[in-house]
Chains A and B, each alone.
Chain A
């Protein structure tokens, strides 16, 4: 066993062999990156359902020229029609001249901060497994999510907040639900914690209504005395101490979580920047602003879902109305987050990733006004920002129809390897033994795309 693994194992096993230190305590004794990191934290905005690359970031003039022409390709629903042009105008943006469609004017305004990977490909054409692959590297369930690996690799920066936070779309969870931010076979301490927008942000955060503050304080003090006495009688078993510490941290979380979740202290200008003033942008704006507050306070990994399984970018029919509706709620808050992070000097060491589980087909699904596009995992675009990436830069390209990568194909495993690299982690060394294999986020694959970095 390499020293790397044994050190992380040791942290997990906490010496006594039956537990782990409260995860937050990793802040001090925690694992360290393998090499100097470019970024300390990650925010990932996940568009569920499959945002069309052809209608956002991957400009294909040939598609417009051959609009309505037959094209032979198998599709998931088997209802593939003819080639379909993008209904929105593409233009070059900013100094960099990156092509972005008119669907995303706000993000386009920050084109010079974006890094596009236009040759990403995934394995599954079905939502849940494809989302699982983007999150865990595998299409089967039970593997740890990207955020869990990052926590396992880097630990927490702020003891008083969960280090891996998931913000769901108000319309509901993505396909697969909690499986998408699971710790898998890693210890439960590294799983994502969902912050809810209504009620307690974290389950069981507040004491029950019928218990007064004094009653709780006295009960906790009784408990503390009992637990300390018990731990003294069994000194040497560090998990008993960790348990006492867990209650202390829980008490602090009861203060810090409501504080971070309260958006009232933000200025009117900030709220307007994110789009609190409009009904269609407000829900995602809340999540994006909360994401910034979490990142600011040292949360390691924030994942923001835009769309759930019920309301998503899954434009099988009515591409135009679906993508217009989805982009209206997505574009401004997302762009505001990038801008706000940059303004606060956080963008340099934050990795921002805009992902979707797959793109959409160049051929239509159905015909006429109600035409949409089917699932397309063979080629799509992921955008990134911050983290010492080359800004205003596009890497890889797709063929004339955006069907397959033409140059520099990037597998999901490569994206993961690259993201870990930005965090100072070597994807081949970040391993955990489970059921017969030394498991990695990148399975047995993955190459760091070095040329994305400045």
Chain B
């Protein structure tokens, strides 16, 4: 054992290679190993390195090697001493990385199974297991009794305990195929999908909140969970199941489930605040981290390879060049989580939302239904607008012509350009835009600006509806790029401070020393702000200069004249119940005082209210109203949190993974170590990954399934089949399972049967010291490894045993939280209640990052947004405290007690029923005595609390 060698390390120091080897391994061998041989140098053994030893020290001393950072002096001294001692290689360095011939990269190969040595286990699984046991001078364990078996397989396949009736039926079933029928009954149960979907959700880091600081709820994410449950219950072929998750929006037939399936790509935690940083590099870094996580999930989930480890450099342990990482990433580089479409609102942060769940056919049908309606609305609105405008006085000749102009008489269309807006939440009332209904304040946004605007004048006619007191930015011209640091200008009423220019960060804003606004209620006021190329800002009220002209500090970030860009800038209008907008104009020049005075003199272009009333075309308006109502009555499509696919630029290799160091551009491709083809798009990459064109895809899944049946995979690390993941215990068996999985049409249920209808699975779990001495954790399966229930089946079993489990399937998750917000952060405070919704299975509990249930957490339920191919199983005092005192356990103990009192008469019968429900067996006479005694003194809930806390309840043997 190495352990022993370590303890005895001191005397070994006489060999200078002991210390030198550690340094060579740490600093050199990654590039100068037997497979890498960078510069032709292989430092693993004397033979391969001998001729170049003399050069090593010189290059190290010059700081040329290692290339990343000079070697610390202490280490150099060790190397020098070793070379001085004649550079002995007392033991060559073994290869510390996988080559292209690594087991998991080789084609799946079927080997004829060894013949069964005795009459134990004739299935292929059994023959391989038995042979390996024999090789290690071990024998399998005898078959477990039927009570144990039905409890084991029922938990395994459904995550719930068998009922006493089910146990009795199986125990007393004389038919030779009793086991087969039991397994098939369980696989056909809807509870099966709920159990196995939960395993899958661990792997794909299913998270119903975005993580990071806001942790906002992804309220439509449950559709992915339902897709998964259905896929397992319906035995959807695994290749299709996988393809849908990577490209369900593209691969026919596109269904609601296949669209929801793409959420797989989008579940990673999202740093939305970082993504809206004003520093472009910060944004790029956040985005790159998101894509690294995503690329890692794809390659680990389906290929068992950690391609994400090759972001900064070639993979240290596996044959995955850095380039391959970027090529795989390229296939998914346009993935975003679905967000609310607030781009027009100028909100620069991403809010989780859903996308419409419409198949292409449904989308087409909907479009062909709605398009004529939309056209009709557009035509009617334009006709009505024209009627109004015909009633308005024409612009007097010689007045400046704006580049954008809105008259809020009947719509918010831009008459000069294309910056149209919709009156969402606002309404047009007697020639002015005002909040609709009882809302205090409403903001509407326009489409993008169509041309570059530098020097400018922003002009607004404002109706004073009530004596103004509240601050409001009535007009804002704003670039969207630059996020929080984006420029903006516009007309702001600042309460007591009166009229001023608005700006991001206040750098271009100055309080005007001017009289308070005194326009009588019902009157109108004209504000124009001129922005000179030199930076000067002048504000005019009713044609006269308002306060003094000023120049913002040019040293501040937004101190100079701001330029607004086509395709980026928008205008936003905000009205409240004090100030309404009648008309807004943007001119592409800083108008001089006289021209602004002339604009004021000319008055608003809107017709007076009486003229507008006269111009009303009631028939058209009625028609428009009905068309709008018809559109509004069209039911909104259902929403699913899924992947959004945006248009993105090309993917570049990043030197050392650094977003500021872009290298060569690459196109999508599969991993070269698996012979992945090149020049593919996402769909083609998905089709290559989820197929038998690579050997990893089938192997990884059969190993996962094995892992969940036995607590440990044939390969111990389900997400890593690379060098670090180690080698499988039974490579031939793994390959046979993979090959028969493919042959069986990727049927997961058939795969379960291949594993469960064996003697291997039915072995007793009894501990055997002799066998444990050879194979302590039973990796060779000399017994069935006993296991503790995970958090979900523990909770679900308490509900089931107490008789209060609500078996309602599918649909939105139940939310056992009191929700509140701190700023834009979501808080989830736990609540427990006997609301039937809260008594559904745990898979329907909303799985948010900061809303973990203390008991589930103590039972090792993982953080949702972290991929968890293998759960930890720990035993801690906090776990004991949780099982002892948690409110849920308390509530369940009472419900269980009530059930016993309801369903059984007399103490003996109740004890008996309690044991049968919780442990699947009757009590021994002694146990019955203790239990009756406990219940007599402290009530049945004390007894039920004991049952839930017992090891026998939580362990499956």
Query: Is A21 located at the chain interface by the 8 A CB criterion?
Result: yes
CB < 8 Å: which of A81, A193, A218, A239 contacts B556? A81
Is there contact, CB below 8 Å, between A246 and B850?
no
Q: Mark A1-31, 1 if CB is under 8 A from B, else 0.
A: 1111011000001011111111110000000
Chain A CB within 8 A of B879 CB:
yes
Q: Which of B885-899 contact A (CB under 8 A)?
A: 885-887, 890
Cβ-neighbour of B951 out of A123, A188, A231, A253 (below 8 A): A231
Q: What are the interface flags for A273-316 relative to B under an 8 Å C-beta threshold, 1 for contact and 0 otherwise? A: 00000000000000000000000000000000000011000000
Known: A128-B273, A188-B857. A435 touches B306 (CB 8 A): yes
User: Contact at A3–B2, with CB atoms within 8 Å?
Assistant: yes
| B880–A249 touching, CB < 8 Å | yes
Binds A, one of B87-95, B669-677, B860-868: B860-868
CA–CA, A204 to B943, complex, Å? 20
Contact B269–A140 (Cβ < 8 Å): yes
Which range contains the number of B residues in contact with the other chain? 35 or more
Contacts of A129 in B (CB 8 A): 212, 271, 274, 286
- Taking a contact as CB atoms under 8 Å apart, the answer to whether B724 and A6 are in contact is no
Given known pairs A20-B875, A218-B937, A239-B875, the reply for A77 and B505 (CB within 8 Å) is yes
Contact status B869-A76, CB under 8 Å: no
- With A126-B274, A227-B951, A234-B957 already in contact, the answer to whether A18 and B786 are too (CB < 8 A) is yes
Q: Is A4 a contact of B6 with CB atoms below 8 Å?
A: yes
- CB–CB B874/A219 < 8 A: no
Is there a chain A Cβ closer than 8 Å to B213's Cβ? yes
Indicate whether A127 reaches chain B with its CB closer than 8 angstroms.
yes
Is there an interface contact between A226 and B863, defined as CB atoms closer than 8 Å?
no
B84 within 8 A of A: no
Cβ-defined contact, B863 with A78, below 8 A: no
Are A205 and B874 within 8 A (Cβ)?
Answer: no
Residues of A within 8 A of B881 (CB): 202-205, 250, 253-254
Q: A128-B273, A204-B854 are in contact. Are A367 and B211 (CB under 8 A)?
A: no
Q: Indicate if the CB atoms of A219 and B938 lie closer than 8 Å.
A: yes
Q: Which of A37-45, A52-60, A91-99, A170-178 contacts B (4 or more CB under 8 A)?
A: A170-178
CB within 8 Å of A: which B251-288 residues: 269, 271, 273-274, 277-279, 282, 285-286
Q: Which residues from chain B contact A77 at a C-beta distance below 8 Å? A: 278, 484-485, 505
The closest CB in chain A to the CB of B778 belongs to: A17
- CB pair A188–B874 under 8 Å, yes or no, is yes
Distance of A128 Cα from B1 Cα, bound (Å): 44
Of the candidates A75, A234, A242, A244, the one whose C-beta lies within 8 Å of that of B767 is: A234
Find out whether the CB atom of B556 lies under 8 angstroms from the CB atom of A82.
yes
Let me know if A223 and B950 touch, CB within 8 A.
yes
A124-B282, A250-B880 are known contacts. Are A222 and B875 too (CB-CB below 8 A)? no
Interface pair A188/B767, CB less than 8 Å apart: no
A215–B505 touching, CB < 8 Å? no
Binary contact readout B483-495 vs A (1 if CB under 8 angstroms, 0 otherwise): 1111000000000
Chain B residue numbers with a CB within 8 Å of A78 are 278-279, 482-486, 504-505, 557
Q: Which residues 47-72 of B have a CB within 8 angstroms of A?
A: none
The CA of A230 and the CA of B822, in the complex, are separated in Å by 48
A182–B934 CB distance below 8 A: no
- A234→B927 CA distance, assembly (Å): 17
Bound-state Cα–Cα, A206 to B887, Å: 11
User: Would you call B592 an interface residue if the criterion is a C-beta within 8 Å of the partner chain's C-beta atoms?
Assistant: no
Tell me if B858 counts as interface (CB < 8 A to partner A). yes
Residue A420 is within 8 A (CB to CB) of chain B in the complex = no
A105 within 8 A of B: no
B279 touches A19 (CB 8 A): no
Whether B2 pairs with A23 at a CB distance below 8 angstroms is: no
A175:B213 contact, CB within 8 angstroms: yes
Which residues in A have their C-beta under 8 angstroms from that of B946? Answer: 219, 222-223, 226
| Set of chain B residues within 8 Å of A127, measured between Cβ atoms | 213, 273
* Selected contact of B278 from candidates A76, A189, A428, CB within 8 Å: A76
Q: Could you tell me which residues of chain B, from 4 to 44, have a CB within 8 Å of some CB in chain A?
A: 5-7, 26
Given contacts A127-B213, A436-B306, A207 and B955 within 8 Å (CB-CB): no
Q: Mark A420-436, 1 if CB is under 8 A from B, else 0.
A: 00000000100001011
Residues 78-110 of A, flagged 1 when their CB comes within 8 A of B and 0 if not, give: 111110000000000000000000000000000
Which B residues are within 8 Å of any A CB, using their own CB?
1-3, 5-7, 26, 211-213, 215, 269, 271, 273-274, 277-279, 282, 285-286, 289, 293, 296, 300, 305-306, 309, 317, 482-486, 504-507, 553, 555-558, 711-712, 717, 719-720, 722, 724-725, 765-769, 772, 776-779, 785-788, 822-823, 825, 849-850, 852, 854-855, 857-858, 860, 863, 865-867, 869, 872-882, 884-887, 890, 927, 930-931, 934, 937-939, 942-943, 945-946, 949-952, 955, 957
A-B contact pairs, 17 of them (CB 8 A): A19-B873, A23-B874, A24-B877, A69-B555, A76-B278, A77-B278, A126-B271, A141-B212, A188-B860, A204-B854, A204-B886, A211-B942, A219-B945, A240-B951, A247-B880, A366-B506, A436-B306
